[in-house]
Structure 1
Amino acid sequence: MATSFFKDVTLIIKKYCTSLPEYEDESTGIRPNHEVTFQLKKSVEIQENDKAEYSYFVTHKLTLPQKERFSGKPSECSVSSFMEEVKKHSLYYIYTALSKPVDLPGIYQFTAMAQLDDIQIDYYNSREQRKIPKQTWMKEKLYEDYWEEGTQSRKSKEHWFNVNIDILMKRMRHSESDLHVFQMRTGCEVERWGSEEKFSKGVYEYGYDGENFLSFDDSGSLQFTQLYQPRVNIPFLNQYTKGYLGKNCVDWLKKFTEYGENELRNGSPPDVHMFAKRSTSDKIKLTCMVTSFYPKDTVLFIRKYRTSLPEDETESTGIRPNQDGAFQLCKSVEIQENEKANYDCFVAHRTLKEPIITKWGN
């Protein structure tokens, strides 16, 4: 039910991120309230054990979209349905420095990269010492001067990280013979709804051997542990960090998103596979695999008799990156072999008009 709004509004009931057809729900139509605003109610009859898979989505010209879901077990789908309407974009820079070289392929003493919406768009390492584009559209849209200036900037950061990892090791009284890791992650996220755009999150954090010692919190200030106490003016540092994340970072995020608009907008639909492996004499491990999808947000359920299994009954790899910039996700469950025909994989993604349902034997 939506109420207390001026007349034009949209109310949609969704199941598994998919809007229900108008003929499947009952609507009161938009009606006036006593205080000159309006209300609208829609209803649908459902199985009680499916209620967590439903959400409703409301849009009105005066607000950002609102979504709600039933109480009870969390519904991944209700979150995805919201993401389908409000576009989120992110830009992150990740720096990693090691205290000494390691003799392993692909592992360098210093690396730096930028990720736009979880896709790597540039890269630098201490062996080549060149900032290079990782997407064709980045190479086409940005001139050689940009990459040359970026190379010099990354070289400066490499030097800064090498100096400061030595300082941290001495402060922690760590041996130079051991391997230590110094990392930094900084970036921003924005939400877009139609022509409106809103800064939603800024990240600025340092870590040493896996433990954060400096971070930017939601209140807009930097937090320090005893490992690191800055000698600069803290209010000034807070102001600078907040300005960088909310302005400079967002400006580059907008620019990169515009450059890669076609690739980011079109996305890549998922491939769905279902397979099984024997676990005991009478049981098999049934696996649903979703791969080659982009953007990252997706919904995967293993279902029995078209009812989603609870998350605590399935094993999940979590969403992982593929080498091509797309993603994959696997979920598994151990079942009786003679019941495998009763199970299916249910997948929803923003590139799909309708969910994919894959049954055993298909």
Structure 2
Amino acid sequence: MLLILFSISLCFSRVSPESHSLRYYYITMLGGAEFPEFIHVGILDDMQITYYDSVIQKDIPRQPWMNRTLGGDYWDQETKRLIDRQKLSLANVKIATRRTNSSNRGLNFLQYTSGCVLNDDGVVSGVRQYAFNGRDLISFNLEHAVWVSASPAALITKNKWNKNKADNQYKKYYTQETCVKWLKKYLGYSAQAMSRKGRSGTDTA
């Protein structure tokens, strides 16, 4: 089951060889005692760069250059942020379970994907969407900065979130500006690490 969840969350394709993406995947599970309740994975293009789950409760680097270039304060702050996200996500999966009458299922899981794509022509696109038990629930329309529901179960949430126009504008700004800034920064760190590896034949932490 866990492999299925990761397959759903981590299967994506780049728009073109010249495009680059930074995406974050969050999986929250209710009723799956053998799995962590909450899992977070960060992906740069097709490379995993970070990992967190509710058992270890610590954001950890998956690439040596991530550990080397970002200080301990960064990882402490990200860990605190993910602990807060974990609490919010557990509340959200319970709401989704109730609104879809899915409490009789053995395992319910909420998937959240967010991130940005920088295309080779400089155009930025983004993704911010939720799915419940593998079915689309609600997504963010970046151009118009509004949430769009894909399921009747998400109508209440859509109406609530769309009342907060300031927050929606912030999400648009974050995707188009902040996310792209971090994407370029990580690409630079990765390129430097590859350059060092090419010169020395190894990449040490």
Same fold? TM cut 0.5: yes
Contact 1:257 1:264 in 2 (8 A): no
Q: Residue 222 of structure 1 is aligned with which of 147, 161, 183?
A: 147
Q: Residue 28 of structure 2 is aligned with which of 97, 114, 121?
A: 97
Q: Residue 146 of structure 1 is aligned with which of 54, 74, 77?
A: 74
Rate the CA distance shift 1:175–1:131 in 2: closer, same or farther, 3 A: same
Match of 1:250 in 2: 180
1: CA distance between counterparts of 2:73 and 2:66?
A: 13
TM-score (norm 1): 0.45
Point out where structure 2 has 5 or more consecutive residues left out of the alignment: 1-14, 197-205
Tell me the C-alpha RMSD between the 2 structures: 2.6
Rate the CA distance shift 1:257–1:166 in 2: closer, same or farther, 3 A: same
Percent sequence identity over matched residues? 29
Post-superposition offset of 1:109? 1.7
Structure showing greater Rg? 1
Contact 1:130 1:151 in 2 (8 A): yes
Q: Residue 240 of structure 1 is aligned with which of 158, 162, 170?
A: 170
Q: Residue 98 of structure 2 is aligned with which of 161, 170, 173?
A: 170
2: CA distance between counterparts of 1:188 and 1:132?
A: 21
Contact 2:30 2:37 in 1 (8 A): yes
> What is the identity, as a one-letter code, of the residue corresponding to 2:153?
L
Match of 1:209 in 2: 133
SS for the counterpart of 2:152 is: coil
> What is the identity, as a one-letter code, of the residue corresponding to 1:90?
S
Post-superposition offset of 1:184? 0.1
Point out where structure 1 has 5 or more consecutive residues left out of the alignment: 1-81, 267-362
Match of 2:12 in 1: none
- Superposed CA deviations along residues 82-130 of structure 1, whole A, max 9, x for unmatched, are 956xx21100000001012332xxx422100110011000000111111
Post-superposition offset of 1:265? 8.1
Query: 4+ residue stretches of structure 1 with deviation over 3 A?
Result: 217-221, 234-238, 262-266
TM-score (norm 2): 0.77
2: CA distance between counterparts of 1:255 and 1:249?
A: 10
Contact 1:184 1:207 in 2 (8 A): yes
Aligned pairs (5 A) from 1:265-276 = none
1: CA distance between counterparts of 2:65 and 2:142?
A: 33
Rate the CA distance shift 1:167–1:137 in 2: closer, same or farther, 3 A: same
Post-superposition offset of 1:200? 2.8
Structure of higher RCO (CA pairs closer than 8 Å, 6+ residues apart)? 2
SS for the counterpart of 1:239 is: helix
Match of 1:137 in 2: 65
